Structure 1
């Protein structure tokens, strides 16, 4: 890792997670001098923002970081936290990226004469190209309603949750039913805690269907190769992930089953007032929509099996195990002895350091497979940057290879590259 900054680099990578490391891997392969700025530590989200029982949701074979495929003996299993960290640490050592940790990038700006200036807490450099790898998960998103909760209620975002013993005795409200929320609610439920689950619009997916992991079927169907440019896919980058789990060998997460076992379910949270959480009357709709996606995915698999005359166990359709008899409008936190709230409400991006006109009206970078409309500016690691796996171990490497290939061609072909003579190795 470098101790001193050079004045100029051919490329600057912002972010030292799996996307930034993948970019560095290919930049090194192409002999392009570069530096990686990381605000905290390399791959810190895997190390510092996961709960103790965390495990992969997708099978291990989908771990396909560049030149670093899954190297264990259980490709159809689901690595637990320590195994994931081992896999990531081996990748970190293999890449040996030129990273400056604990270095905040304060601004990225285009120079009038061409090229870019990158100002960081470690100093300012110029560069011919920039790869932005800071993802959409920069800041935990917690609704303002959290400010209205009583001071004696422990509140934390999913990034800070580790295990049930971390929380005081009493009931727990989990707000948000995406992957993290559903898995943490199960973690608490299995520990015997009283859980109140506030649902949202997250879809769900079967773990196993017709004799195989659903992910294996979907790979055969070609779902992981569909790009964001296919009809109807452009909005996918804003979708909530399907909830299911790889825990204990993998299983469905069915909120209706949890309800039968004593978990209390609610519609979307609309606010907090006078010690009560208030909810929209959409619990049934949320559950029905999640099941509709579940059955729709299975129907896609049925179609594939029929079309290819595959011998497989018979098809089935999920039927609700439980139906809400009412739509709870409120939850009195004191009456229900709620002592903790887990905010599984996602994240917001932080592009404030980027002083370049590359964003659309929603604040999402305008790009095509990581290539923006400004020559020399790239983004990596975003959900549905190109395919379903773009933000994950499965395809972030493929996207990085594409981006660095484009970047290499740009550096080699442009006659207007302002620092061409100063850049080493070009």
Structure 2
């Protein structure tokens, strides 16, 4: 089988890979984008039916193409997001090849570039851009044994309430995914328990502006004023139900039973850590910090934004917050499903290069890895908070593409001959 030579091979045709293709094309870099499934596959099949984008249509897009059929303030549903990226590829006439899985990448011996093995043959690439994103392998703690008589599934496998066994549901994880799924299940008539750990809970909007706008106005996308952040803290904001602030007190008053961080399982009994009230208070602090910073910004700049005093009022503490549940006999509670909304982990077992730290995570600076010629794109905090968002990854891709051009220039340099 012949080997295809290419300057830059991009792996993944989600938002990161498509943005990368646009900038490489603009800079004249020959490249191919390989996608093992369809364009934007995770939007299509690896999320629940009612998922919408986390930001409004005016923001959750690339700067060179707006949505032409929905209001700028709408939170686009997942099907519309997938169609957006498919349309974008058509607009660019991008060299995307679908149905091609990359199985191995390794550096050539004693010459530049990389050997890339795929389901469609072998490539010889000078550069490799890993644009597979952060949502690679679903992960959840090994708390409930697979042999337990209860349905367990990860949020990436959840589609709708009708998919689950009859009975109550314990949703573990209260970020954007877990909170939305818990509310959807409750609206469908299910008894729902929601396990809440530490979380960052900003307002969806305030004084007439969406949180995405406030992130820009307050410089929080760029994080110029560095504020230390805890790792593994859930980000509780979403566009669900037209875009509402995730308010755990409101969810509790709507019938969702809040419990603390899931701790252990033994003989059918699930236990939860104390500290639910402290976790809710931690989220409230983040929420009020945004309101205070927004008010100060409005006053400083003399902006005529409407007052919103009701945003400062918290609902009364529900019973499950003042008297937290520390253990549940799942059978007695009628719980037949545990739904793990606990995120994802990386899977780079196919990437056999020296581009990782001692924990096995990508070792890079702004996407430029420790292995010359290997780049990462679309990872959380690749550059700053914006990096894992649609608008942010476009700008990150521009920087990486520029670095590839510079590297190509070094490799093409020939010292002038003096005869």
TM-score normalised to the size of structure 2? Answer: 0.90
Task: Quote how far apart the aligned CAs of 1:329 are.
Answer: 1.9
3-state SS of 2:252 partner: helix
Residue from 109, 134, 137 that aligns with 2:135: 137
d(CA) in 2 for partners of 1:298, 1:175 = 28
Matching residue of 1:23:
20
Matching residue of 1:279:
272
Gap change, CA 1:73 and 1:14, over 3 Å in 2: closer
Residue from 337, 354, 357 that aligns with 2:354: 357
> Does the Cα contact within 8 Å between 1:174 and 1:343 map onto a contact in 2?
yes
> Does the Cα contact within 8 Å between 1:295 and 1:318 map onto a contact in 2?
no
1:89 aligns with 2:83: no
Task: Quote how far apart the aligned CAs of 1:357 are.
Answer: 2.1
| Structure 2 unmatched runs, 5+ | 415-419
Gap change, CA 1:165 and 1:360, over 3 Å in 2: same
> Does the Cα contact within 8 Å between 1:118 and 1:126 map onto a contact in 2?
yes
Matching residue of 2:294:
301
3-state SS of 2:403 partner: helix
Gap change, CA 1:271 and 1:148, over 3 Å in 2: farther
d(CA) in 1 for partners of 2:157, 2:93 = 29
d(CA) in 2 for partners of 1:286, 1:149 = 32
3-state SS of 1:146 partner: coil
1:245 aligns with 2:243: no
Gap change, CA 1:132 and 1:81, over 3 Å in 2: closer
d(CA) in 2 for partners of 1:335, 1:225 = 49
Gap change, CA 1:76 and 1:241, over 3 Å in 2: farther
> Does the Cα contact within 8 Å between 1:25 and 1:66 map onto a contact in 2?
no
Matching residue of 1:208:
205
Gap change, CA 1:128 and 1:265, over 3 Å in 2: same
Task: Quote how far apart the aligned CAs of 1:23 are.
Answer: 1.1
3-state SS of 1:9 partner: strand
More off after superposition, 119-128 vs 194-203: 119-128
Matching residue of 1:78:
75
More off after superposition, 344-353 vs 37-46: 37-46
Aligned residues: 409
Matching residue of 2:417:
none
Residue from 23, 35, 60 that aligns with 1:63: 60
Matching residue of 1:391:
388
> Does the Cα contact within 8 Å between 1:175 and 1:341 map onto a contact in 2?
yes
d(CA) in 2 for partners of 1:260, 1:5 = 64
Task: Quote how far apart the aligned CAs of 1:221 are.
Answer: 2.0
d(CA) in 1 for partners of 2:316, 2:409 = 61
Matching residue of 2:191:
194
More off after superposition, 295-304 vs 253-262: 253-262
Gap change, CA 1:131 and 1:66, over 3 Å in 2: farther
Task: Quote how far apart the aligned CAs of 1:262 are.
Answer: 2.2
d(CA) in 1 for partners of 2:50, 2:357 = 37
1:317 aligns with 2:312: yes
Matching residue of 2:226:
231
TM-score normalised to the size of structure 1? Answer: 0.89
> Does the Cα contact within 8 Å between 1:66 and 1:398 map onto a contact in 2?
no
Matching residue of 1:119:
117
1:266 aligns with 2:259: yes
d(CA) in 1 for partners of 2:64, 2:205 = 29
Matching residue of 1:348:
345
More off after superposition, 392-401 vs 102-111: 102-111
Task: Quote how far apart the aligned CAs of 1:346 are.
Answer: 0.3
1:219 aligns with 2:216: yes
Matching residue of 1:374:
371
